[in-house]
Amino acid sequence: MQGNYFLVKKIDHDSVLNAHKYVDEHLNCIAGTGKTAAVKVEEYKSPRSLSANSLYWLWLSEIAGFLTKKGREATKEDLHDLMRHKFLGYHPKRKVGRTEIGSTLKSTRKLNTSEFCFYLQQIDAWASEIGCFVTSPMDCEYRRFLDKQNK
pLDDT reported for residue 69:
97
pLDDT value of position 134: 95
- Bridge partners for 21 per DSSP: none
pLDDT computed for residue 1 by the predictor: 44
H helices of 8-49, in order, are: 13-30
pTM for the model stands at 0.68
Q: Which ranges of the chain have pLDDT less than 50?
A: 1
Domain ranges of the chain: 1-44, 50-150
Q: How many residues can be counted in the chain?
A: 151
